[in-house]
Amino acid sequence: MRTLPRALVAYASLILLYLPCLAVAVFSVNKTRFGLNWKGFTLEWYQRLLENEYIIEAAVNSLVLALITTVIATVLGTALALGLERAPWPKSCARLFDSIVNVPVVVPDIIMAVSLILAFSFLRGFSQAFELGMGTLIVGHVTFQISFVTLVVRSRLASLNPETREAALDLFASPVYHFRRVTLPLITPGVLAGAMLAFTLSLDDFIISFFIHGPESVTLPIYIFASLKRGLTPETNALSTVCLVATVVLALLAERLTRRL
């Protein structure tokens, strides 16, 4: 009986958390274009969604951005995790590096966005390559994705038996051979989980993208925000539902891979 109130609180919390998302999904298949009255089931708004060239362009921008930044952040984050975990850093340096890695995770997105826009404004004085657009979006997303990948991969590295590495080195395995045949296979679940987490964060990011995007690099979250200013439409509900489902699927995959850590 004592566990019943806890269960009720848990269920109530889940309902409050997902009820707005469920409402968006329901109205995305409602025949009525305006109002909240239920007029019947339809997939017309999803069909119009696929015919909207602006939405398709925003979706392509989001996917291209997420794929590019995920690859870059996964490589750099894995390398950073290996360097932090395997190198014999002094304790003071190790604590400093841990704090630096955690900064993008704990700092509010608005602070990161303002920092990036100021940095790009300064760098444009030296090169026009830092004009706001897809390039600045890639740099901005990689900046915060690296920390998440590093944390996930480091947790996997910390669980490995150090004797495995020592045994490989005692058998005259070169560092490259040891990494390719021993370390990489063992940390692959962590690397994949970090990559999926980075991909999901890139798809969902709005605040940082809003500050550093250009007119030709509008992403789906930015498009949805602009659509809300003109009034909520069933196409926006359908787009939000698709983004929600994609995010949930990626989060579940990342969580399943993380279990193997």
For residue 1, the model assigns a pLDDT of 46
For residue 35, the model assigns a pLDDT of 67
Distance CA 27, CA 39 (A): 10
Chain segment 187-201, per-residue pLDDT in tens: 888 898 889 889 989
H-helix segments, the chain = 3-27, 44-51, 53-86, 91-106, 109-123, 134-159, 162-170, 175-178, 184-204, 207-212, 220-230, 234-259
For residue 52, the model assigns a pLDDT of 84
Chain segment 225-246, per-residue pLDDT in tens: 887 777 777 888 888 888 788 8
Helices 234-259 + 184-204 axis angle, to 10: 160
Residue 3's CB is within 10 A of a number of other CB atoms, namely 8
Nearest to 72 by CA among 137, 117, 119, 130: 137
For each of the domains in the chain, give its residue range(s) and CATH number, in order of start. Answer: 44-259 (1.10.3720.10)
Parts of the chain with a pLDDT under 50: 1
pTM: 0.82
Nearest to 156 by CA among 238, 261, 231, 85: 261
Angle 212-216-218 from CA coordinates, rounded to 5°: 60
